[in-house]
Each structure stands twice: as structure tokens, then as C-alpha cells.
Structure 1
Amino acid sequence: MEPPVNTRSKNPSTLTLDEHAVAASGGELQHIITGTGALNSLAEVVTTLHPAGQVLLLRDATPKTINGVDLVETVRGIITTALVELEADPESLVEFVVPAKAGHDVVANEETIAAVQEAAQEATLVIGLGSGTIGDISKMAHHDAPLVLVQTALSVNGFADPLSVLVLNGAKRTSPSRWPSVLLIDDDVVSQAPARMAQSGVGDAVAIWSAPADWYLSSKLGMGGNYDPNIYLPIREAGMVLQDPDDAVARDGLVHALTRGGLQIGMAGSTAPLSGVDHLVSHVLDMAAMAENAEHDYHGTQVGVATVIALSLWEIIHERDLLNVDTVELEYPDDLEQRTRETWNRIDPTGSLGDESWRAVGNKAKKWASATRAAFDAAGDEHREHLTGLTPTAHFAADTLLRWDAPTKFSQLTPPVDEDRARWALLALPFMRDRLTVCDLLLMRGLWNDELIDEVFARAEHAGGGL
């Protein structure tokens, strides 16, 4: 492999994925290898990154194939061949199959992370083979050994960033982890993954049309984040290709939308540019399912359904001018803690989720009390105009999802989410984490209620989504 080139000062939209990786990570993510046959580069990657010691292969137990051949056997053979070339003991390859949680696939919780970190103690090279959760777990395994991620599906944007979505005290939390050293995306591998995986990736990708609005609000209201359109514009450019009628072109667009999304998240140091109401709905559904030991759909698939909801909400906000807050006193309700705990006690009577969520929401309320909002009030018209330009119609997101036969409605998720659970998930949004979204402002105005949710469902249905 050639040494990385310093491209940090260039416009990401003009860079190859490999150059973009170096620019975003400061050289920590040295290479992104994509295309047909990319997996064949794994031998060179191993010989370059691994002069001696133990190679740890992290994977789950889900069967995967490439061109009809077992993918794990293929990867194992490539690594073993590389070790022989290095005159290393092939027995230095150690596999750890990350266990699934009852009623779920692999879950990146405290127990799983501890087990993986123990398994990785002696590793001098870690290779993660799998989709999004395996990627997140692998990035937590060992911070000193080089890390290679072999991406097996176009399911999420979280492979190419230094963050991991974990389950801590039963709640979904984004935690700092590390950049991979090399990311491999073989077109044969990802194109032969189940269609549901790519549908999940499209769902994750379409959030680019709603999430930046929440990021903008948070930044302009003094609640954190340095809003910069240059972070999300390269991802929007890639996302425009997702509706292309040519499957190969659309799939390449998905590779770029997800991978550049991860890189830009890493550059921003936060998931906020790509994670607003859309992702929050998915996290809430996940948390409810885990608390009840029930199944839930893929994260990105839920995000796609929620993006249609989020854009429907923004349509209503723009039409009714609900962010015209110049003369409105914006404060969280006095019973914020009670409402937070009651929200989560519905699914977790032990109070554990209520405790964890109140820690986050309580911090958000304290930050709001000291935030400077005068600048936002003074430029209200300008801000509302900008937010209108940020958020296209819900039809746009729904049409993109339908191009991939991806779910657009809660009832189309696997398993289906009924109206009662969908309504509860939306009403729970301000009571989950410490990041402000537009739902917090509507809560402060006394508008985040069943009546508004009914309007949102109806608007989303008109766009092809909703219940």
C-alpha cells in the first residue's frame, strides 16, 4: 500500500474516498479500499500492518457468503496465507465470535464490550468482519493495535468514523472509540448481502435531509455544535444518486453517502450533523425493545421511516411558523423530571432507564438555562428561512426509500410497530438524551402532544409514510 497523502486542506467533494479518509482522520484511517475484489487486498493489509503477534478476528455467528463461498472461511484463508508469507505462526490467528443477546442480534452493551476487550488484550492486529454493530464493537476492542474493518453490508454510516453507538445502562449512547486503520468494502460482499441490509443503509442515508436542521438549531441556540454546511454538503451530493434507476450507480451512491457520512461525522467530532429526530426515534424503539426483551428492526430501516416523520413535522412547522418564538418564553416544563421518568417507567418499571435518561435530560435542561438565545431571537426570520431550505418535503425521502423497496411506515418494520408504540416513541423524544432537537422547542411551547402527533402521522401518510 502507498503511504497516505496529506489532503486535509482540500474540499472533501473533490477527493477520492481514500483521500477523504486521510483528510478527515488526520491519517489515522490510512486507506479505504472499495470495489469488486477489494477483499483480495486484505492479505497486503495484513502483511503491512502486522509484523508479529496475535491477529484477532472479531465476527458474529450470522452466515455470510461471497459468490457462493463461506465468507468467514475466505477471510480466514486470506489471513492465514498472509501470516505464512510473514513467516508467522498461522495459529496466531484467533477468532472471537461475539455472542448474540436473547431476542436480538449482537448488542454493543457493557458486557459485550468487556468480553471483547478481554479477548483483544494480546492482539497486535484486530480485524472486524461484519456490519454496523460489529464495527462499533471492533472500534472499542483495542486502542493501540491497528484495526481493519471488513464491511459486509451497506447498512449504516458508522464504519468510517471514530465513534461507537453503545447500549449503556439500557440506553443508546454515542461514545468516542477510534478510527479504523483500514476499511475494506468489497462490492461482491456488500451487493450479495440481504436486501434488507442495503435498505437499512438507505434509511440511514436519507436522514441527511432532516438531521442537519436539528444540528443547526442546537448550534444557533447555544446548545452545542459548530454548525458548518461543509460537513453535510458532500453527503447530500452523494445522496442525490440514491434514486438513480441504474442499480450499480445507485449502489455506488450509497457507498459514498454512507462512507463520506462517517468521515464527516469523524471530522465534526459528533454524530449531530447526521443524527436528529430521525435517529432519535430509532434509538427509542431500540431501547424499548431491549427493555422488553423483544426484537426490533435494523437501526437504519427505522431511521428511514422516522425521516419521513421528521420531514412531515418540519412541513407543519414551516407552514404554521411554529419557530416564530420572538415573543414566546421558552423554558422546559417544571415537571420535566417526572415526565422523563414516567416515559421510561412504562417499559422499565425498575427505574433504571428513567435514571439514565434523566441524567441526560437533566443536563440538557441545565445547559438550556444558561444558553444564550438572544442572537437566535434577533435573527428569527433568517433562521427560519435557512431551516426551510434545509428540509425538503417528506415525499422526497419516501420516494428514495421506495426506490429501494425499503419500509416507509411503522407497520412495515420487522416486527411491525403499532400506532400506540409509534406514538409513545415520538412523545418520548425530548426525554431521552442531552442533545436538543426541534421537539424540545415544541415541548417548551406546550405543543409536543397527541394533537400535533396526529397531524404528523396524517402528513406522513400523505407522503407515503407514517403508520
Structure 2
Amino acid sequence: MSELVDSYLAQYQDRLETRACLIESGAIQNCYDLLQIHLDAGHWLLVSDANTWAAAGAQSAAMLDAAGQSWERYDIPMPAEGDPVCSDALIAEFEQAFVDAGAAGAIALGSGTINDVVKMGAHRQNRAMAVIATAPSMNGYNSGIAAILSEGVKTTQSCTAPRVVVADLEVLAQAPTRMIASGLGDLLSKPVSNSDWRLSARLKGTPHSVEAMEIIEHGARALDGVAERLTSRDIDAIRGLTESLILSGIAMAVAGSSSPASGGEHLISHYIDMTAYAFDQPHDLHGCQVGVGTLSTALFYEKLQALDPATIDIEERVAALPAWEDYERVLRERFGPLFEPVVKHARPGYPSAAELRGRLTQLVEEWDIILEEVGETLRSQESLQADLRAAQGPRRYAELDVARERARRAIVHSKDIRNRYTILHLAWELGLINQWADEVLSELYE
């Protein structure tokens, strides 16, 4: 059990759909009472793929059989190469299976993709679901959003969070090393994504939650001393990582958005994903990509902190702002077959000349205040690299098998795939994104 997680579940029960999180060794064999309380009675679907069934299928099936629970197995279809991807088509297939089975509830046996497929499918069928985690690889277990490849673009869509999260530490400790490192990479983004969140709140007036920030900070403390013990599969380190992942999901639910846990670094990862699927290019685990993206945006912040605000020529920047119609043509050339779904996100966030002038004026006038605010949560890219190195996580784009020019495009172009203000957007508005991207890649490519 986790007293900290349980305390937040109780404190924010009016805002959270997740009712219980069981984080302990042997959690699978001890979880049926919670499942019975929080899932509807009747026939349940146990949803897995070949990998997650091998990791925890026998234990999960034995737990349900011992309780006399009616259930059947549904396997997420495996592609010819690689792993399944949460897409509109995969969700639709699962929904049909849900209906055909006459199921009252579902249990996702897995991590990112399987959890997202079941979350969204159960949400659309107005059914409760639970998740039995198989790897501490990402922070979306108990979030109320699903990452879905929709029309070729990696989107986040609202859904119902799992009623119960079961995290058996013995199972999680046996996950592949890179999946464990992926979970750490996802969490290491939080100091930088929180800076993006504050930057957006200050310069665009978007909502910001002190409560969610407190939860994120508690999650960060749960990671103290964890990174260097992950490769030895230390159970206490796996516990700290898992608690921090769950707390991140709670923070997103309390904030009502993914902003506490997702900034420019996630846009970089999403760009890599969407170009991988659209153009048959390599990609890596979400958290591994986020980790390298975090090093990139952390370097962007270091460059912002070193900038002299007196060098910002506001009128020059306003004069250089392309008319939307001209920029739309640029987007069409950049994104090709992905243009139509991308432009729907890019257009709402594109500034008018008046908006840009006002934002840059505020930036210059409130320079010290803004840098102090965004700096409160920031960590240096050197300290972030040290944690990734200790966990054997990737720290360079080449380690993600992402070619240098594609990595540059991910940094420079990803701001347009989501209407969320980040350090990437500010760098573009300052006319510095190309220069900073090249400087980042000189450090973070190989």
C-alpha cells in the first residue's frame, strides 16, 4: 500500500474516478476484493497482448478463477512488426468485442497502449474498468486521458480513468530495463513541463493549479535516490518509481488536464511517434523519447535564462510574423499527408500581431518575475542526464534511432501539433528556435 497515494485518493475523491490503488508485492493475488467492490458485477474481459499475458496472465487468471469470477480473455491484435499502437481502429475492435461478450467490466493487463485502448473503449461503452500494471513505464495508468493515434496525429482524448489500479511490485520489477527507464524518463519531464505550465499561465493566462503542483512535488520526492537502483530491480526503488507515476496521474486528474505532466518535451515525442506511423520511420518507447525531449527543452530554458531581454526587438518580431495564410502553406509543405489533422491544432494557437506584441512586451517587462517562476521547478539538463544514465535510459536522439534531421524537425516543428504553449512556442516567437535547436543537437544527437 502507499499511504501518500491513498491520502490523495481520499482528499480528492470528489474529483477522481480512480477509487483504489494497490501498490505492493503480491498485489495481483490480493486485489480481487477491490475489483469486486469497484467493478460492476457480471462477466469481465481480461485484455492483454502476448507480452503482457506472459508477464502476468497466469497470475491474473488464477486470481479470477479462485474468486469464481466469470471472465474471458481478449487479445489486442499484434502487428507483424513491433508493438500495438492505440488507434481509433484498435479501440473500435475492442469496443465490438466488449459488446459481443456482454461484459459488465474490463481489466487491462498491460501498460500504455492496452491501458489506453481499454480506458477509451470502456468509456465509450459507459462501463467501469481496472488495470493490472505490467511495467512502470509511463504515468498514464490512472489518468483521465488516452493517447490515441487519430487521423495520423498523436492526440490526447478525455476518457474515464480506471476505478482500480493494481501494481504488483514483483511483476513490475521484472519488466525490461528499457521499460523501467522509460517510466523514469516520463517522470523526469515534470520539472520542465511544470515550467511550461507556469510559462503558459503567465503569458497566456491559462489555468494553473497549486494543488496539482503539490502532488507533482510529492511525486518528485518519491524519486529521491531511485534512479541508480532501478537497474538492479530493487523493490523499494520500483515502489518509489511506481508511486511517483501514480501521483503524476492523480495530479493530471486534479488539474483537469495533462498540463502538470506534459509540455514541449511531450510534443517532441508525439512528433516522433506520428512521423513513425505516417512514414514508416523508427521510434522508441514513449518515456524514452520524452526523456531525450526533456533534455532538449531543459537546454532551451537554460538558453532563455542566459538571454538579455534588452536584445529582444519586439517590433521586429511582430513584423516578422507571417500572416496565417502564409504559415498555413508552410505547414502544408512540412506535414504533407498529416497537414489536415495538424492544422486543426495549429490554427487555434497561432498568434495575431497584437497577441504577439502583448506577449513579448509582458515577457520583457516581467522578465525577472517570469524567470523566477519558471525556475522554481526546473532541473539542469546535467542533473537530468545523470539520472537517465544511472537508469540506463537513452540520452541522445541517435539512441532513439531518430536521424539528426528528423530530430531537428521534431524540435522545431512539434509546436504545431498541439495547441499548448511551451518553451518551444516562445523560442519560435523570439525567432530563436532554429538556432537553439541546432545548439541542442550539437550536444544531444550522438
Could you state the TM-score of these two structures normalised by the residue count of structure 1? 0.85
1:328 and 1:277 map into 2 onto residues whose CA distance is 26
Task: Find the counterpart in structure 1 of residue 65 from structure 2.
Answer: 80
Structure 1 position 315 matched with structure 2 position 315: no
Aligned pairs for 1:241-252 within 5 A? 241-243=225-227, 245=229, 247-252=234-239
1:129 and 1:74 map into 2 onto residues whose CA distance is 11
Deviation of 1:221 (Å): 1.7
Could you state the TM-score of these two structures normalised by the residue count of structure 2? 0.89
Aligned pairs for 1:16-415 within 5 A? 16-26=4-14, 28-49=17-38, 52-62=41-51, 64-65=53-54, 71-83=56-68, 90=70, 93-121=71-99, 122-143=102-123, 144-222=126-204, 224-228=206-210, 229-243=213-227, 245=229, 247-321=234-308, 327=314, 332-334=321-323, 335-345=326-336, 351=337, 353-365=338-350, 373=359, 378-413=365-400
Deviation of 1:457 (Å): 2.2
Partner of 2:257, secondary structure, is coil
CA RMSD of aligned residues (A): 2.6
C-alpha change, 1:281 and 1:304, in structure 2 (3 Å) is: same
2:62 and 2:379 map into 1 onto residues whose CA distance is 48
* Maintained 8 Å contact 2:216/2:260: yes
Partner of 1:254, secondary structure, is helix
1:238 and 1:330 map into 2 onto residues whose CA distance is 43
Deviation of 1:43 (Å): 2.5
C-alpha change, 1:111 and 1:316, in structure 2 (3 Å) is: same
1:333 and 1:58 map into 2 onto residues whose CA distance is 49
Structure 1 unaligned residues grouped into runs of 5+:
2-13, 85-89, 346-350
2:353 and 2:73 map into 1 onto residues whose CA distance is 47
2:274 and 2:94 map into 1 onto residues whose CA distance is 22
Deviation of 1:354 (Å): 0.6
C-alpha change, 1:322 and 1:446, in structure 2 (3 Å) is: same
2:63 and 2:245 map into 1 onto residues whose CA distance is 26
C-alpha change, 1:329 and 1:226, in structure 2 (3 Å) is: farther
* Maintained 8 Å contact 1:125/1:147: yes
Deviation of 1:455 (Å): 1.4
Deviation of 1:52 (Å): 3.7
Deviation of 1:15 (Å): 5.2
2:10 and 2:108 map into 1 onto residues whose CA distance is 20
Aligned sequence identity (%): 28
Deviation of 1:283 (Å): 0.5
Structure 2 unaligned residues grouped into runs of 5+:
none
* Maintained 8 Å contact 1:18/1:30: no
* Maintained 8 Å contact 1:223/1:436: no
1:237 and 1:325 map into 2 onto residues whose CA distance is 37
Alignment deviations for residues 208-237 of structure 1 (CA, whole Å, 9 cap, x no partner): 121111111111122533253435322222
* Maintained 8 Å contact 1:430/1:439: yes
Give, as a single letter, the amino acid of the residue that structure 2 aligns with 1:176.
S
2:354 and 2:106 map into 1 onto residues whose CA distance is 44
* Maintained 8 Å contact 1:223/1:368: no
C-alpha change, 1:101 and 1:25, in structure 2 (3 Å) is: farther
Alignment deviations for residues 276-306 of structure 1 (CA, whole Å, 9 cap, x no partner): 1111111000001000234421000111111
**Structure holding more helix per residue:** 2
C-alpha change, 1:50 and 1:274, in structure 2 (3 Å) is: closer
1:275 and 1:324 map into 2 onto residues whose CA distance is 30
1:116 and 1:223 map into 2 onto residues whose CA distance is 39
2:135 and 2:190 map into 1 onto residues whose CA distance is 19
How many correspondences in the alignment?
430
C-alpha change, 1:291 and 1:238, in structure 2 (3 Å) is: same
